[in-house]
């Protein structure tokens, strides 16, 4: 069957605003987490994040457009432009009716929304920007991308907490297989470093409070982990059928080969306290990809850095792979730039395909003291060389939305 090829990469994150700098930061094992300084965050329990500081310097947008959109759309437009350029698609030569946009995010555009709502309560309804209605909602970036490029193909936005972009990537592939689209821009974006979104994320309660040590706060699988650190940004890739990519002589980074998903069906924010449902999703992804367990080289982990989250993930891997888990490299590179919630899987996909490209397993940083309950080799602190051909990416949403993507090279 014609596989779904990844032929272009665009990335906006604390670790870099293009794929080259993103990769350079990650392979060094450098933390990009710092204190939140763009508003007074002193009263928030968690006030550190992986922030994008210089978006305007890397932006191609006119200020007339920037003022109409939220920053999450802005980041998505910057990532889209990079991905399209990277793919070498000549936009003049393609049928725009057959180009779709599939995006995922969990929160929507709160910087725009909360600013305008504040104005509404102070100045009344006339104080609200007319762009409010089209700027804040989760599908806004999808709409802005389609308008910017004139793409008219089948498009959708998925909201499924931290599994949003994983599902968007999968849906995108489905439309290509079904012949509904010829190309798709797929991925996600998230901008949670705003006063209200940060408050909600804090209320959720899984964030690290190690504010005095931002660079070592996000420590998945370490005994002294105390939660994840938020990140912001966007990851967008160009997808097309393998045959189409070969025909136009495109650079193919890798292929999305399969997916497995399940839901814990247990609680609105907690995980079911056993790993059965996550195991089921992993098994399904392997089945969908047609891979034997021992073929897997690398797993890009969820690494929530909570006591239960990391334990359950470790248990699931042990139960599914048994002794063979020792032969698989594991890591959570997001420990360097923060967790981008709904956009996270798109960044994980990008770091994974770059790992495959460079035959290098990225590290899980800040791993210092082992936890007897999380006793696998998570590639601590330093990248290691390894030929990677088949990888899994773990995405877990709040309350247990489990999505596993299977990605391969060649």
Partner 1 sequence: MDIKEQVMDLIARTLEVSKDELSETEKLYDSIGVDSTEMVEMVVALNKHFGVKIETNEVTKYSTPLQIVESVQTKKQ
Nearer to partner 1, 68 or 318 (CB): 68
Residues 252 and 245: beta-carbon distance below 8 Å: yes
Q: Which stretch, 1-9, 59-67, 201-209, 273-281, contacts partner 1 (CB under 8 A)? A: 59-67
Quick one: which H or E segment has residue 269? none
Q: Which CB, 91 or 147, lies closer to partner 1?
A: 147
64 near partner 1, judged by CB under 8 A: yes
Does 326 bind partner 1 (CB under 8 A)? Our answer is no
Within the chain, what is the greatest distance between any pair of CA atoms? 65
Q: What are phi and psi of 27, to 5 degrees?
A: -75, -20
Q: How far is the CB of 128 from partner 1 (least distance, A)?
A: 9
Choice from 42, 54, 63, 92 touching partner 1 (CB under 8 A): 63
Stretch touching partner 1 by CB under 8 A, among 35-43, 60-68, 304-312, 381-389: 60-68
Interface stretch with partner 1, choices 71-79, 127-135, 266-274, 391-399 (CB under 8 A): 127-135
- Measured in whole angstroms, the distance separating CA 186 from the mean position of its chain's CA atoms is 11
Tokens encoding 331: 């890591």
Q: How far is the first Cα of the chain from the last one, in angstroms, to the nearest whole number?
A: 14
Nearer to partner 1, 130 or 265 (CB): 130
**Closer residue to partner 1 in complex, CB, 130/179:** 130
- Reference 155, options 190, 196, 187, 195; nearest CA is 187
The partner residues of 235 in beta bridges, in order of sequence, read 11, 188
**Helix (H) / strand (E) containing 125:** none
Closest distance to partner 1 from the beta carbon of 140 (Å): 13
Q: Does 265 bind partner 1 (CB under 8 A)?
A: no
Q: Is 209 in the site for partner 1 (CB under 8 A)?
A: no
Minimal distance, residue 74 CB to partner 1, in Å? 16
Tell me the three-class secondary structure of 198-242, residue by residue.
Answer: HHHHHHHCCECCCCCCHHHHCCCCECCCCCECEECEEEEEEEEEH
In degrees rounded to 5, what are phi and psi of residue 55?
Answer: -55, -45
Interface stretch with partner 1, choices 79-87, 125-133, 138-146, 326-334 (CB under 8 A): 125-133
Tell me how far CA of residue 376 lies from CA of 313, 316, 318, 360, in angstroms. 11, 12, 9, 19
- Note whether 137 binds partner 1 by CB under 8 A: no
Distance CA 395, CA 347 (A): 11
Residue 126 in the binding site for partner 1 (CB under 8 A): yes
Parallel, antiparallel or unpaired: strands 4-13 and 233-241: antiparallel
Residue 121 binding partner 1, by CB under 8 A:
no
Which of 62, 122, 178, 268 is the binder for partner 1 (CB under 8 A)? 62
Considering only 45, 85, 120, 131, the residue that binds partner 1 (CB under 8 A) is: 131
The distance of closest approach from Cβ of residue 114 to partner 1 in the complex, given in angstroms and rounded to an integer, is 19
Minimum gap (Å) between residue 97 Cβ and partner 1: 22
- Tokens in use for 137? 């909602």
Query: Contacting partner 1 (CB under 8 A), which of 130, 179, 249, 372?
Result: 130
Rg (CA), the chain: 20
Nearer to partner 1, 77 or 349 (CB): 77
Question: Does residue 68 touch partner 1 according to CB under 8 A?
Answer: yes
Q: How far is the CB of 130 from partner 1 (least distance, A)?
A: 4
Closer CB to partner 1, 61 or 317, in the complex: 61
**Which residue, 68 or 156, has its beta carbon nearer to partner 1?**
68
Question: Angle at CA 308, nearest 5°, toward 304 and 314?
Answer: 75
User: CB burial class (10 A; 0-12, 13-18, 19+) of residue 251?
Assistant: middle
Nearer to partner 1, 58 or 131 (CB): 131
Torsion sign over Cα 332, 230, 30, 163: positive
Per rule CB under 8 A, is residue 134 in the interface with partner 1? yes
376 alpha-carbon distance from chain centroid: 23
Footprint of partner 1 on 276-295 (CB under 8 A): none
Task: Please state the closest distance from residue 60 (CB atom) to partner 1, in A.
Answer: 16
**Contacting range for partner 1; rule: CB under 8 A; set: 46-54, 128-136, 298-306, 359-367:** 128-136
Euclidean distance between CA atoms 304 and 321, whole angstroms:
21
CA distance 406 to 276: 19
For residue 61, give the 3-state DSSP assignment.
coil
Q: Which residues bind partner 1 (CB under 8 A)?
A: 62-64, 68, 126, 129-131, 134
């Amino acid at each position: 069957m014609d596989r779904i090829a990844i032929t272009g990469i665009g990335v906006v994150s604390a670790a870099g605003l293009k794929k080259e700098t993103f990769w350079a930061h990650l392979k060094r094992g450098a933390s990009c987490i710092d204190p939140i300084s763009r508003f007074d965050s002193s009263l928030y329990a968690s006030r550190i994040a992986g922030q994008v500081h210089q978006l305007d310097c890397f932006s191609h947008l006119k200020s007339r457009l920037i003022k109409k959109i939220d920053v999450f759309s802005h980041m998505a437009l910057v990532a889209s432009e990079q991905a399209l350029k990277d793919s070498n698609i000549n936009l003049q030569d393609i049928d725009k009716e057959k180009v779709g946009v599939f995006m995922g995010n969990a929160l929507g555009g709160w910087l725009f929304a909360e600013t305008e709502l504040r104005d509404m309560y102070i100045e009344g309804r006339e104080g609200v920007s007319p762009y409010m209605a089209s700027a804040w909602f989760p599908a806004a970036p999808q709409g802005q991308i389609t308008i910017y490029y004139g793409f008219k193909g089948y498009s959708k936005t998925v909201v499924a907490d931290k599994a949003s972009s994983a599902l968007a990537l999968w849906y995108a592939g489905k439309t290509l297989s079904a012949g509904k689209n010829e190309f798709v821009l797929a991925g996600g974006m998230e901008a949670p470093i705003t006063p209200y979104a940060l408050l909600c994320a804090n209320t959720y309660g899984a964030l690290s409070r190690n504010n005095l040590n931002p660079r070592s706060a996000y420590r998945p699988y370490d005994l002294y982990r105390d939660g994840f650190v938020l990140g912001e940004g966007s990851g967008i890739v160009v997808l097309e059928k393998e045959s189409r990519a070969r025909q136009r002589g495109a650079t193919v980074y890798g292929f999305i080969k399969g997916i497995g998903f399940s839901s814990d069906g247990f609680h609105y924010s907690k995980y079911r306290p056993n790993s059965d449902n996550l195991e089921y999703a992993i098994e399904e992804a392997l089945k969908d990809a047609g891979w034997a367990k021992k073929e897997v080289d690398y797993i890009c982990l969820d690494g929530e850095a909570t006591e239960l989250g990391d334990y359950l993930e470790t248990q699931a891997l042990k139960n599914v792979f048994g002794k063979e888990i020792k032969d698989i490299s594991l890591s959570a590179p997001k420990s360097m730039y923060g967790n981008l919630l709904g956009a996270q899987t798109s960044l994980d996909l990008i770091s994974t395909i770059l790992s495959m490209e460079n035959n290098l397993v990225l590290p899980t940083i800040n791993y210092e003291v082992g936890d007897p309950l999380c006793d696998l080799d998570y590639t601590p602190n330093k990248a290691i060389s390894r030929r990677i051909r088949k990888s899994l990416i773990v995405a877990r949403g709040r309350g247990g939305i489990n999505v596993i993507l299977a990605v391969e090279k060649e």
